[in-house]
Structure 1
Amino acid sequence: MKSRYTIRAITYLLAFGALMASFYMLFSLPIQLIPNIKTATITVESYWPNSSSQEMADEVLFRISEKLTLLKGIQEITSFASPGYGYTELKFASQETANQARQEVNALLSGISDFPDGVKSPYISEGNEAESTGWVFFRGKRDLTSASEAYDYVEKHIVPKVRQINGIKNAYVLNRESLNKIITIQIDFDKMLAYGIELDSVLHRLRAYGPRALGETVVNEKRYSLRLQNDGTIRNLMALQFFGSGGLINMSDFAKVASVLPDKTSMAYYNGRDIVPIVFFIEDNADIYGVYQHLNSLEKEFNEGILINTDYELGNFLSPIEIIDQTRFQLIKSMIIGFVITVIFMLLFYKSKIHALNTIIFIPFTFFLILIVYSVLGIPLNIISVTGMAIATGVILDPAIIVNEHLLSKRKHKVNRGLILCIILAAATSVLVLLPFLISSKTESKVFTDLGMSFIIAIISSSLLPILLLPLIKKDTRHSLVHGSFAKKATEVAVFVKSYFMSRPLFGLISLPLIIVGVALLFPAIEYLPYLGNNTATVYLKFPQNVPPEEVESYYAKGVSKNLSSFKRNSALPSDNQVFLRTWTGGGYAIFRSAETDQVESYIDDLADTAKQDIRELRSKAIKTNILARYGGEKSVAVNLIGEDFKSLKPFVHYLQKKVSEKYPNLYLRVYPDIDSVYEIFNVSFHSYELDKRKVAESQVLDLLKGNCQGVFVDQFFVQQKHRNVYIRPQRCLSIDDILRAPVKSIDDRTYFIRDFLKVEKVSIPRNIMYKNGAKAFRLTLYLGANDSSSEVIDYLKETISEKSKTLDGSVSYELSEESKKVDLLLSNWAASYITILLINILLVTVICRSMIAGIIMVIGYIPAFFGAVLAINFVNLFLPVSVDIITCLGGVLMIGIVSNGYVILAYGFVENLKTHTSWTVERCMNESVKQRIRPILLTTISTIAALIPMVINFDETAILYRGLAVVLIGGIFFGSIFSLLFLPSVVAFIYKKTLNYAKTNYVFQLAGFGSFNRDIIS
């Protein structure tokens, strides 16, 4: 007796230890937000300083695309060109193919030798800005006084520290390759003359100092600007001294010296201050939570130590720590509440606390084994895998309940082989439905690898542990099977209702087509990822296209800084708000993050109104951005329009813009490249013959156009055979006549004007260019609200584009972008997966039970389960938001595995009764099978639903991640269980009886198992 008591006591003690260890591991193991799914793409980046977007596309990207078409396994090539920069995306069928192609891509890139001068060697990017996991900011407490010094400091001291953090595979300063640091000197004429200093002496001194002059500009009557290429510091230039009327005068007394980055494609600001942005990329299986904790420590190390007495500070943006903590806490809270509710129902079902405890102990054992597997394999947890543990709270009790009921009712100390076979079969069907998603190479399937792994471990361990442990514990349990009053009444009601419908199979037969119709009518729209969080918003601002970068930066940054300060004083935004800005020539965007949605929207509206007063032609739109955007995607639909040239595409784009604005007036449609985003520049062309005839040196003309022509800022130039073309971006005050009147001297000291031998014309070139498989393209992205359906929008876009395409003789085609295709792929792939899983599951049960009737039970049983899932989604959505997305669809797969448990044991019991009790009628065989299963079905259904309810009624905003999955499981399990008890027995018995006559004469029916166990009929 003592040893037996010790076995039970040790088991209870180990269960308690497993429970404590599980909670500790949930907070100590590495964790991510959602699984890090890598797309099967390779990005090749290219830089050509001072080139136009058209030159970048024609001279660089086209050659790269043409060369890379030789790659094996490549599906499509997309190129994006902008001034001075471009990149090419290569899409492959799978990530494995992409990894194998990297070496070949490098070899092909190194074989391109005919790039124009100045093109930097293209290279495979480890990730672009959109794919970065996070950002670190080096910002000034005031505006950065020296951009060059700030960038140098970041690259020397901060970037190496970020790269050393465990889990970060790469980090670099954003757009560092495109930088061309120069120094601008703004001379105030009034102050200079007041000090008695001549302009010529300043220019002579600067030339003697060593910087290379890039150009000089008379801005107006009071200001003169110089642009210098210099490796020295700004302080040295500011300390230069000149002899004036009052003695030695520093340059800083009459001139403003600053470091600027004119060729930088964009600038960045944080809460109105200049910043140096560092993007970093986290390894696939890294601990994202730990990475950001180290970043916070690095931030503290610099701000409270190295940078404490400087004008700089360090920070990071879009940290997921808060959302991970919040979601993990809510899931663990749901697990605890579900566990407590399950315990309460167990005590209600079993009058003895020992019997209830014998069942409950397998929950901590299963949790502990799941976490141990993750720890041993080195796989980080994520919200999806923790969700799998939460939903398994009630499911893992099913085998324990069955074994416990069997041991108590039979008064034995071991489980018979038939029951073991049933449990293993039920576990096998549950594992089988998830196995295709674990071994699939499709991206949308890989999202579920972690949840599927959690669930499979839970199913296997919860099936084997009761078979092994309960017989040992039962030897020390003297109590017989005594159900509580709640269990007795519930069982009596279920038996009575089942008996009523057993004699009326018509109810079940009629309900099946009605249920199928109900599923079709109530089936909701599908999204790809859940829309989580309204406390982040993005604003896109459009400026006049000729506004140079420094003006965009000035208007944008100062306007935001001013408005931000006023709103802080008025407490419209909390003190911990974050505003991140990115600007470029003619545009920019801002990301706002705050605790309250209304405050963010109010701030955005005010910013837009204020900016409109300062800058003409400004357009703004707030987009509520999915907080998972950096980790999985945002709620948007994009379509690519592809044609022979931009001229044919533009009317199509305008037409689509009009139709979309009419249909969805509250949504924001963004077009890339922007149709109106062009440079208005002067194209100056001349022939070398004209210069030779006038004895004018080509270098004189180029020097004139590059800097000595007052008021002209040179953008880029290039050579084509004997012709020289020079692109000049003018200031607003200049015209073509200003250029034509510019004088130039020949070698023999004659004076000519530009108009004598140069042709000048005003042209417009696009700022950005996009190519899709060699053809020109536009990408239209429609940003959706929380309640907008992606599938409905996609259907509308397809219909609208198809109608317009008919009138264009096929000159324009379209395709959904990769993000938008995911919704269609989700529907098609999941439909195929569901059908495959069902067929395999039915075939497996049929083979093991050696009767087609078992397969029929499975087919009929799944229909009401799906109806229950769809009905539950529509019902709960009336009160709480339910996202029907890729995670919710997984609930349907899990539901198949869960409800299969009941159907398998029901089918197995029915077939065994037919084989062993040949004198029993079909109805009695089914009745006895249901009688053996009715209490476990009720108990497991109630315990599973009770464990899932906290996940549904959680009002935290992160609940949208897993609420849909829980709702699907609750609805499917409830309706599947009710149908299996009430309608399924009568329907199956009716079908089986109707096939007996066919079995007498039809050998196929006999092989299928109909009637083969009824000896009277066969004889």
Structure 2
Amino acid sequence: MRKFISFFIKYPIWSNAIIIVILGFGLLSMFTMRHSFFPEMESNRLNIMVAYPGASPQEMEEGVTTKLEEALKTISGIEEITSTSAENFSTIYVECYTDEDIDEMLTKVKNAVDGVNGLPIASEQPLVVKNEAGRMSMASFISLSGPDDLDVLKEVGDKVERDFLNSSAISDLQKFGYPDKEIVVEIRESDLQRYNLSFNQVVLAINSNNLDFSGGTIKTDAEELFIRSMNRSADPKDIEDIVIFAQPDGNKVKIRDVANVSLDFSEVAVKSYVNSKRSVTYLVNKLPNDDLSKIAEFTEKYVNDFNINNEGFEMKIMFQFSDMLDDRIDLLGVNLFFGLLLVVFVLSLFLRIRLSLWVAFGIPFSFIGMFAFGAIYGMTINMISLFGMIMVIGILVDDGIVIAENIYAHYERGKTPMKAALDGTLEVMSSVFTSVITTIVAFGFLFFVEGRMAFMAEMAFAVVACLLLSLVEAFLILPAHLSHNWVLSDKSRKKNKGIRFRLEKGIDWLRDGYAYLLRGIIKRYRAWVFFPLIFILFTVFLQAKGYIGWTWFENPPFDSITLAAAFKPGETATQTEEFLWYAQEKIDSLGVLLEQELGEKVITYVSLTVGNASSLGEIGPHAGLIRVSTESSDNIDTRAIANRIKACISKDWQNRLEKFSVGGEEQFGKPISISITSEDAFVLTDCARWLTNELENIDGLNDVIDNSGIGNRELQISLKPKARLLGLTLNDVLGQIRQGFFGAEAQRLILGRDEIKVWVRYPKSGRSSLSNIDNVRIKTNTGQSFPFYELAEYTIKRGKVEINHLDGRQEIEISADVTDMTKVGEYSSQIYAEIVPQIAEKFPEVQVGMRGQSEEGMESVYWFMIAFIAAIVMMMIILSLNFKSFYQARLILMVIPIGFYGAIMGHGIEGFNFSTLGLFGVIALAGVLVNDSVVMLDTYNRFLRQGMDVKKAAYECGKQRFRPVILTTITTVAGLYPLILESSFQAQFLVPMAITIAYGVLFGTLILIFFFPALILFFADMKRSRWWLWRGGKYPPARIEVEPVTKIMKREQLMADFDVVNPRISQMEKTINIE
């Protein structure tokens, strides 16, 4: 290795060539790399979707969901199957093991689904697709407001949709705000009876006559003629002219004789408003090949141009994830700038300014070079990869500091710049390489974390790539540049009588003060060695007293606030709208008040949606939501605003609502969420009701809701004996009822770009009261007709809005919010200790499992333990190989617990709870923290080899390594501290990991420089005592004799003596080895 490094020092053009190549490819990759909000992770989930128009949740469960689930049970490689059976639709989620090939699993699942027999005839073909949620993310949320005329709004809204999808920037778009259009053939029952017709005859007439048909070709000698009928039409007048049948007298009975035909919007209650104006909203999704920045650029330009050219309409970008990403990039830029500034400033205090500049060059070199390798890896510029870069700012220069400081020390001994560069690099090369590799190993195990924390892999890649490039810069580039005379010239040895002189005197004073304290600690090392234990116990005491809290996940402010409300299913959209307008009025008033309090605009947009409260699991006219967008400001706490919005809603309205919540999307689920499953639906419902009541009685829990939902009131029909005597079955009666009230789909037409369904049903007035169903005429097989009330009867019961399954068993999930996030673990423990045993006693058929943050947190801790233990084992092996001693490797790893509790203390100082994200920072901390220990222990061993006694070597290694250890600590903390101080929403998700590393390094290093030498001496005494106890003898051996380096030196001497005594044998062995 000496010749290799010497080559780059002799010929620095090679170092410059490396810089040019890496920076060139890095810059090219950086400017062409795609942007995304989160890393694009390959999904391990499949979705199976089946539509069955008009089916109830029970029908979907029994006729579709259960049959498909049974077929899936035979497939190996599936970890979990969950499903939701709702009205008209069933969705099954198949989660596969992460080591399975998702494309192969897709084929297996498709084959299993295709082999299922007995699905309802009216259900559509099951659709099996990969769940791209991990690779598809929301990019923008845009509104289009205009006139109340839905036809006008739809025309413009459809054009906007086409423009978006025709652009090269956008590949996926969802549109909300108005229902689909449909053609409705409204049957008049009296006319149907007058002509003795049935629904089926009307449907058949439309389906048989309103069509385009190809009848082949006629080939004459002169030409070829096609035979075609072009009679398909979406014009209601053309459909009215369709002949159902001709009478004997030649009169034709047409559709218009028995029905009214119209083209209109469907009856589904879907409405959107933005700032009180009727609107269409667009959700723009980013697919894997899309670029978040290009989407934002296109939408911003389109919205500006649209507003200029379309009077009476207004488009607004209500939310854009690229803004958050831009904020993160700005945050990186600020951290990078201040990190570099602080690093250069701190280095210039301890080293010459030219030296510090070349050390600091490692930061931009590593960052830019990382993009070159990131392009090969498939990385995108996203929030997590950028955080990895922010986190590694202060760590990058650690190796450069150690090498530069050592080169400078050799130069001050009188060596030439080239000689100092070579000797200084080689002297610390082994320890620097080991320390960086241990950090890489620690971060490297984050690549194998699964579950919700799998995004850590992208952060780990950024850190590992930067560290590898920093090694290249430290070993090959830095020595070459520090060997120049203009960097380390003779003039640099002259004492400067100005600021530089005073700084050096100050540094010498600090070092002398440290040396004085260190001498005192070494004199009484047997007592001082227990100080780190006292620090750990003090931190544990603060945790036990609640001064430092624990929570699974810190909940940062919401990016937007959602008010979701649902009445009992069956309630009309009129009541839902009334409440939403009331709530919006309260929110508008609150916005004015907040603006007065804070002196800035707070609420920017308020959007209102009728017919959908997806966060509550409710869809229909009884449900709705309001989305509140706020300005991005450090002064705005969206969680506090959500609480004030909730307080504005009167208790009277809240009591009338079946479900109500105000908040935002929790990235890791609800703080408290419990899953109960059973094969008995009635027992499960009773258990859910009992459990909900128990949770509501726990102080500190609020907004307790379950996802089962209460369905509409249903007419459950049964046949009378007369129907059976007439040969009618339940299917015959319900089939005719379904045709009239739900409708029979006659056909689907294309009108422009829209698919239009043609429905045959009774008019709305014929479906608006219970008397309508009593008077429906039911036809028998002989053509007779009887009123419904003579053939059947019904009872009114409440149905279900949806039915959920977990691995084939019915599931209900009960969730709750907490007032104090530090007590989430306490509440979970209380539930498991007090409530779960009662469930087992009262409802033995029910199984209980934790969901939400508890489930995610426990899974994250599981993966943390695996990654942490694996990292420690690998670091132990690497350190043992470097020091040729397991004992010294264990000695170094003992600083990790100190850093861990230092990280917990740091959370308390900064006012944060210690959380799972902070816990994952410990893995990274372990790799960073051992760096200084490695260099210090390597120096200690070197002094022992030079003949120093143990105490003298421990003292001198602390004194000599004081400056580089303090330097690396200050630069690491300085690089991360701007992020810790950041109060923006974008930073809150990342601050816990930054606190863990910064404070872990800070406390770990302070204890290291003062007490690591004492630890060395204490463990030397322990080894002497063990020697004495195991081997006997009047006096224990001297400390120097039990040191690993002494044993290594003895072995080396024995081998050297063997070579002298047996030169021929030695030479023969060398020849054999060469061969």
- Going from structure 1 to structure 2, the CA distance change for 1:934 and 1:29 (only over 3 Å counts) comes to same
User: What is the TM-score with the length of structure 2 in the denominator?
Assistant: 0.76
Q: In 2, Cα distance between the equivalents of 1:570 and 1:376? A: 52
- Going from structure 1 to structure 2, the CA distance change for 1:394 and 1:547 (only over 3 Å counts) comes to same
Secondary structure, aligned partner of 2:565:
strand
The corresponding residue for 1:509 is 529
Q: In 2, Cα distance between the equivalents of 1:883 and 1:958? A: 18
The corresponding residue for 1:218 is none
Matched to 2:656, the amino acid is: E
Q: In 1, Cα distance between the equivalents of 2:185 and 2:582? A: 23
The corresponding residue for 1:248 is none
2:867 pairs with one of 826, 833, 844: 833
The corresponding residue for 1:75 is 79
Aligned residues of 2:37 and 2:382 also touching (Cα < 8 A)? yes
> Are residues 1:590 and 2:623 paired?
no
1:756-802 superposed Cα distances (whole Å, 9 cap, x missing partner): 33232223321211111111110122245684554344334333442
Aligned residues of 1:269 and 1:557 also touching (Cα < 8 A)? no
1:370 Cα deviation from its structure 2 partner: 2.0
Aligned residues of 2:603 and 2:630 also touching (Cα < 8 A)? no
2:445 pairs with one of 436, 448, 457: 436
1:912 Cα deviation from its structure 2 partner: 3.6
1:377 Cα deviation from its structure 2 partner: 4.4
The corresponding residue for 1:391 is 391
The corresponding residue for 1:449 is 457
The corresponding residue for 2:722 is 690
1:136-285 paired onto structure 2 within 5 Å: 139-143=144-148, 145-146=150-151, 150=154, 158=161, 161-162=164-165, 165-166=168-169, 168=171, 170-171=172-173, 181-183=182-184, 232=234, 259-262=264-267, 269-272=273-276, 281-284=285-288
Secondary structure, aligned partner of 2:657:
coil
1:362-415 superposed Cα distances (whole Å, 9 cap, x missing partner): 222222222333345442122222222223222222222211222222222313
1:12 Cα deviation from its structure 2 partner: 10
Q: In 2, Cα distance between the equivalents of 1:546 and 1:62? A: 27
Aligned residues of 1:349 and 1:486 also touching (Cα < 8 A)? no
Aligned residues of 2:106 and 2:130 also touching (Cα < 8 A)? no
The corresponding residue for 1:337 is 338
Q: In 2, Cα distance between the equivalents of 1:569 and 1:520? A: 46
Secondary structure, aligned partner of 1:88:
strand
The corresponding residue for 1:320 is 321
Matched to 1:542, the amino acid is: A
1:290-323 superposed Cα distances (whole Å, 9 cap, x missing partner): 3333333444565555xx26x7666665421222
Q: In 1, Cα distance between the equivalents of 2:870 and 2:303? A: 51
Q: In 1, Cα distance between the equivalents of 2:133 and 2:44? A: 17
- Going from structure 1 to structure 2, the CA distance change for 1:865 and 1:326 (only over 3 Å counts) comes to same
- Going from structure 1 to structure 2, the CA distance change for 1:174 and 1:44 (only over 3 Å counts) comes to farther
Q: In 1, Cα distance between the equivalents of 2:48 and 2:140? A: 21
> Are residues 1:48 and 2:52 paired?
yes
The corresponding residue for 1:889 is 919
Aligned residues of 2:549 and 2:913 also touching (Cα < 8 A)? no
Secondary structure, aligned partner of 1:116:
coil
Q: In 2, Cα distance between the equivalents of 1:51 and 1:445? A: 39
The corresponding residue for 2:571 is 547
- Going from structure 1 to structure 2, the CA distance change for 1:995 and 1:212 (only over 3 Å counts) comes to same
1:547-626 paired onto structure 2 within 5 Å: 547-548=571-572, 550-551=573-574, 554-555=577-578, 576-581=604-609, 583=612, 584-585=619-620, 586-595=622-631, 596=636, 597=638, 601=642, 604-605=645-646, 608-609=649-650, 617-619=656-658, 621-626=660-665
Matched to 1:907, the amino acid is: L
Indicate the larger mover: 280-289 or 812-821: 280-289
Aligned residues of 1:635 and 1:785 also touching (Cα < 8 A)? no
1:958 pairs with one of 986, 999, 1003: 986
The corresponding residue for 2:215 is none
Matched to 1:945, the amino acid is: V
The corresponding residue for 2:520 is 500
1:310-355 superposed Cα distances (whole Å, 9 cap, x missing partner): x7666665421222222321232122122212222222223x3223
1:680 Cα deviation from its structure 2 partner: 1.4
Q: In 2, Cα distance between the equivalents of 1:857 and 1:1012? A: 17
Q: In 1, Cα distance between the equivalents of 2:398 and 2:642? A: 49
- Going from structure 1 to structure 2, the CA distance change for 1:280 and 1:65 (only over 3 Å counts) comes to farther
Secondary structure, aligned partner of 1:447:
helix
- Going from structure 1 to structure 2, the CA distance change for 1:140 and 1:818 (only over 3 Å counts) comes to same
Indicate the larger mover: 477-486 or 641-650: 477-486
Superposed CA RMSD in Å reads 4.9
1:860-1009 paired onto structure 2 within 5 Å: 860-877=894-911, 882=912, 884-914=914-944, 916-917=945-946, 919-996=947-1024, 998-999=1026-1027, 1009=1044
Percent same amino acid at aligned positions? Answer: 13
Q: In 1, Cα distance between the equivalents of 2:25 and 2:782? A: 93
Q: In 1, Cα distance between the equivalents of 2:691 and 2:606? A: 35
Q: In 2, Cα distance between the equivalents of 1:514 and 1:728? A: 82
The corresponding residue for 2:106 is 102
Indicate the larger mover: 472-481 or 322-331: 472-481
Q: In 1, Cα distance between the equivalents of 2:723 and 2:111? A: 43
- Going from structure 1 to structure 2, the CA distance change for 1:134 and 1:646 (only over 3 Å counts) comes to farther
The corresponding residue for 1:858 is 892
1:969-1014 superposed Cα distances (whole Å, 9 cap, x missing partner): 2211112212221111112112113313645896999999486258
- Going from structure 1 to structure 2, the CA distance change for 1:234 and 1:18 (only over 3 Å counts) comes to farther
Q: In 2, Cα distance between the equivalents of 1:729 and 1:669? A: 38
Matched to 1:462, the amino acid is: S
Secondary structure, aligned partner of 1:31:
coil
- Going from structure 1 to structure 2, the CA distance change for 1:792 and 1:696 (only over 3 Å counts) comes to closer
> Are residues 1:114 and 2:146 paired?
no
Q: In 2, Cα distance between the equivalents of 1:290 and 1:270? A: 26
Aligned residues of 1:715 and 1:729 also touching (Cα < 8 A)? no
Q: In 2, Cα distance between the equivalents of 1:127 and 1:174? A: 22
- Going from structure 1 to structure 2, the CA distance change for 1:754 and 1:283 (only over 3 Å counts) comes to closer
1:630-649 paired onto structure 2 within 5 Å: 632-633=667-668, 636-649=671-684
Q: In 2, Cα distance between the equivalents of 1:777 and 1:491? A: 66
Structure 1 segments unaligned to the other structure (5+ residues): 188-198, 215-229, 239-250, 718-725
The corresponding residue for 2:1047 is 1012
- Going from structure 1 to structure 2, the CA distance change for 1:565 and 1:921 (only over 3 Å counts) comes to closer
> Are residues 1:791 and 2:792 paired?
no
Q: In 2, Cα distance between the equivalents of 1:186 and 1:758? A: 22
1:58 Cα deviation from its structure 2 partner: 0.6
1:823 Cα deviation from its structure 2 partner: 0.2
- Going from structure 1 to structure 2, the CA distance change for 1:739 and 1:380 (only over 3 Å counts) comes to closer
Secondary structure, aligned partner of 2:520:
helix
1:709-739 superposed Cα distances (whole Å, 9 cap, x missing partner): xxxx55899xxxxxxxx9999999845x775
> Are residues 1:538 and 2:562 paired?
yes
Matched to 2:966, the amino acid is: L
1:531-550 superposed Cα distances (whole Å, 9 cap, x missing partner): 332452222212132125x5
Q: Aligned pairs, how many?
A: 931
User: What is the TM-score with the length of structure 1 in the denominator?
Assistant: 0.79
Aligned residues of 1:48 and 1:119 also touching (Cα < 8 A)? yes
- Going from structure 1 to structure 2, the CA distance change for 1:797 and 1:895 (only over 3 Å counts) comes to same
Q: In 1, Cα distance between the equivalents of 2:730 and 2:67? A: 30
Aligned residues of 2:85 and 2:804 also touching (Cα < 8 A)? yes
Matched to 1:105, the amino acid is: V
- Going from structure 1 to structure 2, the CA distance change for 1:53 and 1:748 (only over 3 Å counts) comes to closer
